[in-house]
């Protein structure tokens, strides 16, 4: 291959785990994951970064690990955002064109999207995504792609995703403190959808439900268009907490119980089976029946499904989802969850694995619901680069271009389409120290004195 291979790196900052992942696109347009590394996430609650130091440590650990494993160095990453502060709204925008006869150019569509970033939103919020749903050229409605058409008035319906500035800033701060730059921030349910849904499902109508540790993300598609997104502020962790409190046992034992013996259907759990849990600090061991464990899990899962159902109804497409529900995320592994979901939503349910667009050798180990978001972030990354024709600073050790140091400090790449507020002043670390530590981490440099 004559042209330099294009790599993309992403970081999924979750409530239970932080994943760093790097991939490339092969000749057939499939994605090959070259390395993946995960660490426990301690500084994140319900999808929102609370403890920056702990999150930075976890990010650095996974990034170093994935760079070693894959042999690919990178200084930029795509990163996911979730949390209960996320909300979505619909909006409509238009531009009047000078020349009626000229074909509509890609740039004009970009300008229309760009204009939508200026709409009025509440203080302390920012727009994360502006997704065109369909276009209208003059009076021609339902246009999927207006490029190449002629007309005076170009308008579009948009799905706009809004989040809190503070939450986005904290994610960005973590990435920057790990000596990386955020290339773009991506809503996690959109990433997961890319990884696990088929085009046919998106056309027929489908709800993606990504059950993570701290949040449950929902995305509703119909006719290949995203119609609704939402983040529900609870996930697998509350189930563990219920077991811990209901059975009066330790958190780690509760988590183990849930994974090994848990079921989402109390009625079909065996009556006579019990599991013995070691007592706390040498106390008598506890016996917990499979049935009571299943009922604890079921009651909490029903609450999560009710919230999901509410969002599906809210989208206005509940009766149009021919492909039903696809569940993914670590929580999708819970035994009998598809059956409970089917019973509660009266829809078809399947478990979504991120193998839809994957190729290469690492395919099998990555083909787990919990990596759906990570794989999706890589796919969205390639999509972003193709749309905006941007380059991405990554490569094997030999061809890696040392990044300019300014972006890490000052956000000098503000001119790009990353709509990120500039960094506050107090964040600066003495330049020489920062450069030294960064260079020595990324490549073994000879110790030259830095001017």
What are the tens digits of pLDDT across the range 218-254?
Answer: 999 999 999 999 999 999 999 999 999 999 999 999 9
Question: pLDDT over 90 for what percent of the chain?
Answer: 75
In this prediction, residue 436 carries a pLDDT of 57
Q: What is the mean pLDDT of residues 273-292?
A: 92
Lowest average pLDDT, out of 15-19, 105-109, 127-131, goes to 105-109
Q: Dump pLDDT digits (tens) for 39-56.
A: 999 999 988 999 999 999
Q: Dump pLDDT digits (tens) for 137-151.
A: 998 998 999 999 999
Strands (E) across 282-430 are located at 286-289, 325-328, 349-351, 358-359, 394-396
Q: What is the mean pLDDT of residues 312-341?
A: 96
Confidence of residue 442 (pLDDT cuts 50, 70, 90): low
Is it the case that residue 112 has pLDDT exceeding 60? yes
Boundaries of domain holding 365 = 7-83+166-190+357-442
Mean pLDDT score across all residues of the chain? 87
Residues 170, 159 share a domain: no
Strands (E) across 337-450 are located at 349-351, 358-359, 394-396
Residues 368, 273 share a domain: no
The residue out of 354, 373, 389 marking a domain boundary is 354
The residue out of 315, 338, 354 marking a domain boundary is 354
How far apart (Å, rounded) are the C-alpha atoms in residues 327 and 261? 20
Confidence of residue 361 (pLDDT cuts 50, 70, 90): confident
Residues 333, 246 share a domain: yes
Instruction: Give the CATH number of the domain where residue 45 resides.
Output: 3.30.420.40
Confidence of residue 27 (pLDDT cuts 50, 70, 90): confident
Q: Dump pLDDT digits (tens) for 56-107.
A: 999 999 999 999 999 999 999 999 999 999 999 999 999 999 887 889 998 8
Residues 28, 173 share a domain: yes
Residues 365, 348 share a domain: no
Residues 226, 281 share a domain: yes
Is it the case that residue 439 has pLDDT exceeding 90? no
How far apart (Å, rounded) are the C-alpha atoms in residues 263 and 247? 15
Residues 348, 240 share a domain: yes
Phi and psi at 93, nearest 5°, equal -140, 160
Residue 2 lies in a domain: no
Is it the case that residue 364 has pLDDT exceeding 60? yes
Tokens of 436: 């030294």
Residues 350, 240 share a domain: yes
In this prediction, residue 446 carries a pLDDT of 44
Q: Dump pLDDT digits (tens) for 398-437.
A: 777 766 544 444 343 433 343 344 444 444 455 566 555 5
Residues 184, 36 share a domain: yes
Residue 273 lies in a domain: yes
Q: Is 120 exposed, middle or buried (0-12, 13-18, 19+ CB in 10 A)?
A: exposed
Q: If you count DSSP H runs as helices and E runs as strands, how many of each does the chain have, helices first? A: 13, 21
Residues 361, 348 share a domain: no
Contacts of 34 by beta carbon, 8 Å cutoff, 6+ apart: 7, 22, 23, 24, 70, 71, 72, 360, 362
How far apart (Å, rounded) are the C-alpha atoms in residues 165 and 151? 37
Q: Are 242 and 172 in contact (CB under 8 A)?
A: no
Residue 451 lies in a domain: no
Q: What is the mean pLDDT of residues 156-163?
A: 95
Confidence of residue 201 (pLDDT cuts 50, 70, 90): very high
Residue 34 lies in a domain: yes
In this prediction, residue 391 carries a pLDDT of 79
Contacts of 32 by beta carbon, 8 Å cutoff, 6+ apart: 23, 24, 25, 26, 358, 359, 360, 362
In DSSP terms, 64 is beta-bridged to none
Residues 342, 267 share a domain: yes
**Cβ atoms within 10 Å of 428's Cβ, excluding its own:** 11
Confidence of residue 441 (pLDDT cuts 50, 70, 90): low
Residue 450 lies in a domain: no
How far apart (Å, rounded) are the C-alpha atoms in residues 218 and 304? 11
Residue 392 lies in a domain: yes
Residues 280, 250 share a domain: yes
Report how many domains make up the chain.
3
For residues 203-236, one letter each, b for 16 or more C-beta atoms within 10 angstroms of the residue's C-beta and e for the rest, the string is: ebbbbbbbbbbbbbbbbbbbeebbbbbbbbbbbb
**Total-model pTM:** 0.85
């Amino acid at each position: 291959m004559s042209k330099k291979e294009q790599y993309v790196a992403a970081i999924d900052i979750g409530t239970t785990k932080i994943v760093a992942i790097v991939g490339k696109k092969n000749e057939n347009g499939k994605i090959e994951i070259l390395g993946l590394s995960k660490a426990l996430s301690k500084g994140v609650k319900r999808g929102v970064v609370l403890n920056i130091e702990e999150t930075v440590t976890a990010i650095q650990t996974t990034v170093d690990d994935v760079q070693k494993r894959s042999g690919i160095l990178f200084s930029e990453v795509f990163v996911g955002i979730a949390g209960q502060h996320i909300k979505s709204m619909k909006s409509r925008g238009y531009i009047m064109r000078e020349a009626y006869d000229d074909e509509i150019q890609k740039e004009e569509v970009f300008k229309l999207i760009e204009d939508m970033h200026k709409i009025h939103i509440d203080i302390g919020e920012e727009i994360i995504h502006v997704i065109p749903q369909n276009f209208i050229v003059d009076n021609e409605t339902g246009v999927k792609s207006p490029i190449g058409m002629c007309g005076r008035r170009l308008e579009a319906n948009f799905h706009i995703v809004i989040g809190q500035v503070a939450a986005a800033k904290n994610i960005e701060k973590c990435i920057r403190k790990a000596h990386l730059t955020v290339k773009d921030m991506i809503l996690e349910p959109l990433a997961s959808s890319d990884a696990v849904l088929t085009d046919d499902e998106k056309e027929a109508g489908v709800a993606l439900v990504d059950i993570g540790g701290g949040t449950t993300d929902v995305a509703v598609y119909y006719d290949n268009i995203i119609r609704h997104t939402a983040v529900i502020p609870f996930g697998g962790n509350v189930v563990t907490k219920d077991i811990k409190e209901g059975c009066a046992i330790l958190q780690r034992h509760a988590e183990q119980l849930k994974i090994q013996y848990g079921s989402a259907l109390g009625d079909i759990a065996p009556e006579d089976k019990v599991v013995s849990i070691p007592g706390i600090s040498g106390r008598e061991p506890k016996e917990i029946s499979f049935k009571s464990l299943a009922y604890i899990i079921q009651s909490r899962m029903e609450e999560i499904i009710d919230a999901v159902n509410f969002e599906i109804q809210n989208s206005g497409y509940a009766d149009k989802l021919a492909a039903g529900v696809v569940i993914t995320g670590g929580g999708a592994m819970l035994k009998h969850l598809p059956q409970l979901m089917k019973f509660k939503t009266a829809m078809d349910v399947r478990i979504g694995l991120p193998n839809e667009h994957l190729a290469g050798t690492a395919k099998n180990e990555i083909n787990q619901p919990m990596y759906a978001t990570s794989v999706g972030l890589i796919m969205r990354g390639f999509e972003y680069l193709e749309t905006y024709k941007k380059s991405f600073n990554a490569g094997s050790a030999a061809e890696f271009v040392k990044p300019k140091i300014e972006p890490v400090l000052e956000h000098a790449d503000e001119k790009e389409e990353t709509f990120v507020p500039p960094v506050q002043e107090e964040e600066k670390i003495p330049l020489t120290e920062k450069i030294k530590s960064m260079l020595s981490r990324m490549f073994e440099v000879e110790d030259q004195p830095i001017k």
